[in-house]
Amino acid sequence: MKNESDKQHVFDNPRNVRLVVRVLIVCCVILLLADLVIHRHVDNPLEALFGFYAFYGFVACVVLVLLAKEMRKVLMRNEDYYDSVDD
């Protein structure tokens, strides 16, 4: 078992983690550029904007996380909040 825990795994190496992030960035760039090449058929005027889905996806997630962080300030309690009988 000792060997097992000492073994180097894929993401123990920070280079591999950086690689994943880089691949992700390259994919994003390719997908954004694909908007120029592939003509998306459009049902809604917003869709016609260049990179609408890319932009919307990114902003949506950032807004989601930032708002959720703010929510914590109001809503977060101890883990045993409901377990304690007294207030």
Partner 1 sequence: MILWTTDLPPFVLFYAAAFAALYLRGWWRSVVMLLVPVAGGIHLAGVADGTALHLSVLGFELQPYRVDALSRLFGYLFHIAAFIGIVYSLHVKDTRQQVSALLYAGSALGAVFAGDLMTLFIFWEMLTLSSVFLILARDTERSRSAAVRYLVIQILSGVLLLAGALLWYQKTGSMAFTFIGIDNVAGLLILAAFGIKCAFPLLHNWLTDSYPEATPTGTVFLSAFTTKVAVYALVRGFPGTEELIYIGAVMTCFPIFYAVIENDLRRVLAYSMINQIGFMVVGVGIGTELALNGAVAHAFNDVIFKGLLMMSMGAVLHLTGRINGSDLGGLYKSMPWTTTFCIIGAASISAFPLFSGFVSKSMVMSAALDGNHQVVWLMLLFASAGVFHHAGIKIPFFAFFYKDAGLRPGEAPPNMLIAMAISALLCILIGVFPSILYGSLPFAVDYNPYDSSHVLAQLQILFFSAAAFAWLKLSGIYPPELHSTNLDFDWTYRRFAPQLISRITLLMNTMYQGLRNAVRRRYHALLYKLEQHNGPQGLLARSWPIGSMALWVAILLASTLSLYFITG
69 is an interface residue for partner 1 by CB under 8 A: yes
6 is an interface residue for partner 1 by CB under 8 A: no
Residue from 5, 14, 15, 36 binding partner 1 (CB under 8 A): 5
Q: Residue 53 contacts by C-beta under 8 Å, 6 or more apart in sequence?
A: 47
Three-state DSSP class for residue 18: helix
Residue 61: both structure tokens together: 């997630």
Cα 56–chain centre separation:
13
Minimum CB separation from partner 1 for residue 32, in Å?
7
Nearest alpha-carbon partner for 35 in 47, 23, 43: 47
Residue from 3, 4, 14, 36 binding partner 1 (CB under 8 A): 4
DSSP annotation of 32 reads H
The residues of the shown chain that bind partner 1, judged by CB under 8 A, are: 1, 4-5, 7, 9-12, 21, 24-25, 27-28, 31-32, 34-35, 38, 40-44, 46-47, 51, 53-62, 64-69, 71-72, 74-83, 87
